[in-house]
Structure 1
Amino acid sequence: MSNILIEKLEDAQQTVAFGQRLSQACQQATCIYLHGELGAGKTTLTRGFVQGLGHKGNVKSPTYTLVEPYELADWQIYHFDLYRLSDPEELEFMGIRDYFGETSHSLVEWPERGIGFLPPADIDLTIAYVGEQREITLQANTSNGLSVLNNL
């Protein structure tokens, strides 16, 4: 199996559905870096991921809070948005290492702004517009990431 998976999604509903499938494919703690322009659908995909693991409430962008936690029965999910991060060292002050445990999935938007303070990604996920559709590219960087791609 290849370490790259590419899918085309027609709209936001398919993006949410893909996020749900992705969450079900993660059988162990997984760190996913989300890449894409503003408005590409990173938070929409995250909404599907969180809902796919049983969250019933709203899923909002943590643009101003840096992290939005979701405590579920079997998992903790941490959705990071580092767009407004002015210095990667701020992550150290917020205790970033505490978020990456054996029962947590972490989805990190704008990970390049946290270089040096984030763990390596199991998967780099890029969302790009191709005409009116979105194209999602997943690249597995670890054996866990490859397992997730195989499960999809």
Structure 2
Amino acid sequence: MTHCVGFQLADEAATVQMGNQLAMLMEQGAVIYLHGDLGAGKTTLTRGVIQGFGHQGKVKSPTYTLVEPYELTTANVYHFDLYRLGDPEELEYMGIRDYFSPTAICVVEWPEKGGEFIPAPDLDITLRYVGDARAVEIQSISPRGHSIVDKLKNHSE
């Protein structure tokens, strides 16, 4: 059974804050899929997650490198952007499976391009435009994801 929660995000700061909140609720590793049109806020949400784990510097989308690692004191966070991936098999050559450890946080933009080379998500997140704002829908897929969504629901009430 999946759990689902949705929020309206007024601006970029609210999107970053949602990422911070997600980071605070993760007790161990997680695989997070991000869906949405170009510019919908996937990298902005990811920046919030990464900063929520203590990263101070810039967070850029790894559009050309496919993965940007953030090895922080509280967690290893790996930001994947598969938008420009030509063939999912390329992921096997880059050692994709090494990134997905039980304690790593793996945030994957454009996961549909990864095929069977990436594991199923704990959270499946969709961002979309609503005028100048964004709507985010967070769906849990696994027991770990259910726990995060339940905490997020309780935290926002």
Structure 1 segments of 4+ aligned residues over 3 angstroms from their partners: none
* Letter paired with 1:24: M
> 2:19 aligns to what SS in structure 1?
helix
Is it true that 1:104 corresponds to 2:109 in the alignment? no
> 1:116 aligns to what SS in structure 2?
helix
Deviations 1:92-151 (Å, cap 9, x if unpaired)? 000010001122100000000001100000010000001111000011000000001112
Name the Cα RMSD after superposition.
1.1
Tell me if the contact between 1:74 and 1:103 (Cα under 8 Å) persists in the aligned partners: no
CA distance in 2, matches of 1:123, 1:45: 13
Structure 1 equivalent of residue 71 of structure 2: 71
For this pair of structures, how many residues does the alignment match? 152
Structure (1 or 2) with the greater helix fraction: 2
Within-5 A mapping of 1:43-82: 43-82=43-82
CA distance in 1, matches of 2:45, 2:101: 22
CA distance in 1, matches of 2:151, 2:121: 17
Structure 1 portions without partners, runs of 5+:
none
Within-5 A mapping of 1:1-152: 3-152=3-152
Structure 1 equivalent of residue 155 of structure 2: none
CA-CA distance at 1:2 after TM superposition: 6.6
Tell me if the contact between 2:79 and 2:106 (Cα under 8 Å) persists in the aligned partners: yes
> 2:18 aligns to what SS in structure 1?
helix
Deviations 1:52-90 (Å, cap 9, x if unpaired)? 110111111000100000001121000000000000000
TM-score normalized with structure 2 length: 0.94
CA distance in 1, matches of 2:58, 2:102: 25
Deviations 1:16-55 (Å, cap 9, x if unpaired)? 0000001111111100000000000000001010001101
CA distance in 2, matches of 1:33, 1:102: 16
* Letter paired with 2:132: E
